Amino acid sequence: MSEKNATLHMGEKAYTIPVLEGAAGDRSLDIRTLRKDTRFTAYDPGFVNTASCKSAITYLDGEAGILRYRGYAIEGLVEHCSFIQVAYLLVHGALPTHEERDRFGELLNRHSMIHEDMRNFFRNFPEHAHPMSVLSAMVVSMSAFYPELDDTGNEETDMTVTRLLSKMRTIAAFSYKKSIGEPFVYPSHRFSYCDNFLNMMFSSPVKNYQPNPVVSRALNKLLILHADHEQNCSTSAVRLVGSSFANLYAAITAGICALWGPRHGGANQEVIEMLTQIRDAGGDVNNTIERIKDKTSTFRLMGFGHRVYKTYDPRAKVAKRLCEEVLNALGIHDELLDIAMKLEERALSDDYFITRNLYPNVDFYTGIIFRAIGIPTNMFTVMFAIGRTPGWIANWLEMRADPTMRIGRPRQLYVGPELRKVPSFIKEE
């Protein structure tokens, strides 16, 4: 990382600010001593212009539409790797050898069970509790069953990582079973990571479920697409909570809760609801385009545009192709896909969308794929959470090992009243 200087002029005074340059040429003003030197802070709502950390995990260029995990392009990883290989890459910094992959997979299987006492927690949730509320509560409760994680530095990293990665899918599947009133299905050593999850989701005492290879491959790819995405809302939440030295499960739960929102991980569910609304209104895409442009309309466009990408989301390109492949392989015709394709075609040829950088994002097609492979709508964000877990873990580990890490404590620009006196008629009772 190279270092240069910039100069900040404030009246007659000039201040030197170091300029940090990243591995891919991105630059950042080092303002760590800004308030100390100048008594000024930087006002940046949403922290969209603030680099909160140095990271070697994910590189993202929103203008060029580039996404890489540890230097590997997302397109290549989706094409050639399994989810557990990518999870290993994010956490360990390198793709696993055959031996490392097999050992990692064996550890994932070995630690896929959850403590039997945790089953009681599931039983006490309301009948129709949202799976995300169950997932977040169950993940944070794991710290009570594995208290040794309060001092993670003394525990083998693989044990920490695999325990959470593996149990996350079990908790997710149990959350779904709870929501539909079916008995839990335990994980099995006979299945791979994704097949194990599918079996726990869809097997039952009265149905001999066999995971479909097409569905398993699709799920692997979808989880890879969601595995990490730089310092987004949920990852920043993980780092912020983790900066207090909270244990891993508490930090990951913060990420789950942040992901739940419709502006983040819940957006794929919102896309399905939007496409359903268009279909139920007759499927007129041209009318939909006009409603989107109408400032007085309450209709909201979901699945287009992104806080970071100013061009086509590279994950959306992969998801679109995967969507077509999966539906064709399964022999499914989905009206919502037809509407999505028409909506995208019209939007990409309309100046209203082009000038506003409103291109499809990853959420636009993933919900349709989840529908096709049998995942219910209220589980969409849970699927996102399973995929994002290795990225959250990698960021938590990186943060804990960073010697420059400090507890997160943003400043504010106070706009409230000045000093006021308590009125004389207010008396203590």
Is 363 known to be catalytic?
yes
Task: For residues 216 and 196, give the distance between their C-alpha atoms in angstroms, rounded to a whole number.
Answer: 10
Which one is catalytic: 195, 228, 313, 363?
Answer: 363
Task: For residues 225 and 78, give the distance between their C-alpha atoms in angstroms, rounded to a whole number.
Answer: 7
Task: For residues 252 and 163, give the distance between their C-alpha atoms in angstroms, rounded to a whole number.
Answer: 13
Task: For residues 360 and 311, give the distance between their C-alpha atoms in angstroms, rounded to a whole number.
Answer: 9
Is 306 known to be catalytic?
yes
> Which strands make up the sheet holding 27-29, listed edge to edge?
2-10, 13-21, 27-29
Which one is catalytic: 306, 313, 333, 350?
Answer: 306
Q: Answer for the pair 317, 73: CB distance below 8 angstroms, yes or no.
A: no
Q: Answer for the pair 185, 343: CB distance below 8 angstroms, yes or no.
A: no
The Cβ of residue 121 has, within 10 Å, a number of other Cβ atoms equal to 17
SS3 track for 290-354: HHHHCCCCCCCCCCECCCCCCCCCHHHHHHHHHHHHHHHHHCCCCHHHHHHHHHHHHHCCCHHHH
Q: Is 125 exposed, middle or buried (0-12, 13-18, 19+ CB in 10 A)?
A: middle
Active site residues: 306, 363
